[in-house]
Amino acid sequence: MSIAVAKGVRVVVGATTVLDHTDLDVARGEIVALMGENGIGKSTLIRCLAGLQRTTEGVILVFGAPPSGDAAFWRDVGLVTDDQAWYPWLTVREHLELIRKIHEPADDPRMEPDALLEAFGLLDRADAAPATLSTGQRQRLSIASVLARPSRLLLLDEPEHGLDADFRERLAVMLGNYASDGGTLIMATHDRELASATEARVIALEAGTRA
């Protein structure tokens, strides 16, 4: 079954045609890397799949229906972009505990806050406020936060943003595990090594993409 489909998608923003005749069909358990030059429309396609960007023409289907944007949709979908919002009064650990609390019992011990802090190299920043983290540490927390709850589809916009080479290798393993556990992952990325380490199906976006 297709988890995410784009058919004949055209997005016009102002005077710019951002996407044109873009097609995509992603099956359950796939990892897809959307690649291509700056401004080609990778983030826009991710936003379309998340229901955050309206298409001018064409159809987007996620789990067989247009992305609804309601809570039930977001229960199944994890989105990571570079504009994550954090509660200023909660620490790094408390963010993960809050997510865990809502979704307990944990389906998987890897979702527990301590396991995530360890896996994401954030143990020594566990009591810090997210705003005081470095760019890469905040990116780690963003990704840890989507992996702290069950989901069926991850939409990641440049997950490598700010991450050092060692951690990108660890991330590739975690994303691979997500997919081998039955999750589906679509990421916009410039990182060829991440795409190759996750054995992603690479879709090179260009004007009029069919994949």
Stretch that binds ligand ATP, among 14-22, 90-98, 148-156, 172-180 (CB under 6 A): 14-22
Q: Is 13 in the site for ligand ATP (CB under 6 A)?
A: yes
Q: Is 16 in the site for ligand ATP (CB under 6 A)?
A: yes
Nearest approach, Cβ of residue 143 and ligand ATP (Å): 17
Closer to ligand ATP by CB, 1 or 15: give it: 15
Contacts of 126 (CB under 8 A, 6+ apart): 91, 92, 93, 117
With CA atoms as reference, report the closest residue to 168 among 147, 196, 209, 128: 196
The pattern of x and - marking residues 165 through 204 that bind ligand ATP according to CB under 6 A reads -----------------------x----------------
Q: Is 84 in the site for ligand ATP (CB under 6 A)?
A: no
Q: Is 38 in the site for ligand ATP (CB under 6 A)?
A: yes
Closer to ligand ATP by CB, 111 or 187: give it: 187
How far, in Å, CA of 163 to CA of 129, rounded? 19
Stretch that binds ligand ATP, among 36-44, 83-91, 99-107, 174-182 (CB under 6 A): 36-44
Among the listed residues 24, 31, 32, 44, the single contact to ligand ATP using CB under 6 A? 44
Stretch that binds ligand ATP, among 35-43, 89-97, 111-119, 148-156 (CB under 6 A): 35-43
Place of tokens 């806050």: 113
Which positions lie near ligand ATP, rule CB under 6 A? 13-14, 16, 18, 36, 38-44, 188
